[in-house]
Chains A and B, each alone.
Chain A
Amino acid sequence: MTNKDNIRFIQGNEACVEGALYAGLNFFAGYPITPSTEITEHLSERLPQTGGKFIQMEDEIASMGAIIGASLTGNKVMTATSGPGFSLKQEALGYACMAEIPCVIANVQRGGPSTGNPTHVSQGDINQARWGTHGDHAIIALTASNHQDVFKITVEAFNLAETYRTPVIILLDEAIGHMREKLIIPEPGELPVVDRLRTHVPKGVDYHPYLPREDDRLPMSDFGAQHRYNVTGLFHDMWGFPNNDPAVVNGLLHHLVDKIENSVNDIAMYKEYWLDDAEYVLVSFGSSARSSIHLAQNRRARGMKIGVLELQTLWPFPTDIVREKCANAKAVIVVEMNMGQVITQVKNAVDNPNNVFLANRIDGQLISPTDIKTVLRMIQGKGV
């Protein structure tokens, strides 16, 4: 039973804050940047209330360093930023991938490149989330189109960070971050929360930080507490010390990629609307998905067989799921606010990439149902 105390009317950024606290966030370091500032602002108030730590660092690089350190000592951590700040975080993000340190990075997207269009919506950082840091690696990135889902995927981001010992990126956008709508905060226990997996190796006994258990997971030891061990961004052995033996390098890189890519279907979150008999499938995510659902609902009322596949997991890209859901479509339209980033993945996924079209908008305005309808009419040969 929901009582009124659990109902909020808040911005998407605050929904992210509430989700993070529900998941057990107890350390946040950040540097405010539009349009993510409300995440930092609200956590500066909420974290001290719940016994957590909030630090405004001198910049985004330091913020990323701070959350990595805090995570190693046993905390659930997050930072929040937007495009320019996300660029600055990439080096340390790669370190967290290599050293397998759980952390969550919220990127509320605005127009780019560079300082770009700070107060307007964009979804231009999809590929940066995947390949912003150098070298082969795998990454998890989640997104959502409404506040209830923002809450849910934020909790899930923390769970995945702990389960896979990896940075997880939450890709919101300005429209979702700033708009206000209802959020019903789930009761404790309603959504699963994954706690830190800690080693049972007692104090004084050798602990191998990078020796996987039989199930391939790596139990952690709070840094500075029971055990002394090394953490490095260099290729390393099971003790965490640098090692460039070809077998060690090969094994570690495979491990870093496989632990995530092999679990793509477990990690994949998505929603579908009217796909059963859909001849036209709109593939979308984030605020664009709201416009897609609006249009599909509107066209359905006129008898058109159209549906929406809303992706919530963008990385690792759920290739098999997209292929399956689009298998019977005459045309697939990818709706996104960039020059075509997710469309590349969709074209790779489907059997007939020539039937995949882009409906996009890049001028800082939220893509409208009419924008999508125009593309749909072009594909149908109806003109605009």
Chain B
Amino acid sequence: MERSRLVFSGSGGQGVITAAIILAKAAAIFEGKNAIQSQSYGAAARGGATRSDILISDTEINFPKVTQPNILVSLTQESYNKFSPILRPGGLLLIDSKFVTIEKKVDAKHICLPMYEMVMEKIGKPIVFNICMLGALIGISQLVKPESILKVLETTVPKDFMDMNTKALDLGIQMGKNQ
């Protein structure tokens, strides 16, 4: 497997950092890969552009930051505007149709999905928006197996919320697979 370099970006509170941790943890613990997650720290806990870097590889990872992602996820217009120029040519761009309007096409596979709207329609809780995004991403890219994500969720999500998260993950996977 070639080294995957991802940047998840969005607004504070959308759960992009949580999603990044879940993905990296799934790869590192349940798929025996090397993975590193880091995030930019600023005053972006609520609002403002947040960014989390994830590296997943079969070999050892030394430099822990992503300079040129081959996968970029943007869940707000601001983060799309800020980070789309660093996407590696030929990479993958995943955006949410409610929050992001494509302004200038970069050389990448653009996948624009109504993730937020589908979550609100089928589940009705915005807190699992990030898990739906994660589902879409692995539906498109097969980065990790859905079971590995579920195993991480089981150890981090309270029992009563597991059902909602599983639904959101499945919803995302279906949307991703149809691409």
Contacts and interface: CB of A to CB of B under 8 A. Distances in A.
Nearest to B151: A4
Interface string B31-50: 00011111101100000000
Contacts, number: 58
Given A175-B38, A178-B38, A180-B37, A9 B25 contact: yes
A35 B38 CA distance: 13
B21 A180 contact: yes
A125 B63 CA distance: 22
Nearest to A183: B28
Q: How large is the interface on B (under 10, 10 to 19, 20 to 34, 35 or more residues)?
A: 10 to 19
B38 A180 contact: yes
B38 A179 contact: yes
Contacts of B167: none
A9 B28 contact: yes
Nearest to A119: B41
Contacts of A120: 41
A182 B64 contact: no
Q: How large is the interface on A (under 10, 10 to 19, 20 to 34, 35 or more residues)?
A: 20 to 34
A368 to B, nearest CB: 7
A366 B41 CA distance: 13
Interface class of chain B by DSSP: mixed
Contact of B28 (A178, A181, A290, A293): A181
A175 B34 contact: no
A183 to B, nearest CB: 10
Nearest to A180: B37
A180 B21 CA distance: 8
Max chain A Cβ within 10 angstroms of own Cβ: one of B29, B34, B63, B65: B63
The 3 A-B pairs at the shortest CB distance, nearest first, are namely: A119-B41, A294-B62, A179-B38
Given A7-B28, A175-B64, A181-B61, 10 more contacts: A9-B25, A35-B41, A119-B41, A178-B41, A179-B37, A179-B64, A180-B21, A287-B64, A293-B62, A297-B62
9 contacts: A4-B29, A9-B28, A119-B41, A178-B38, A178-B41, A179-B36, A181-B36, A182-B35, A297-B62
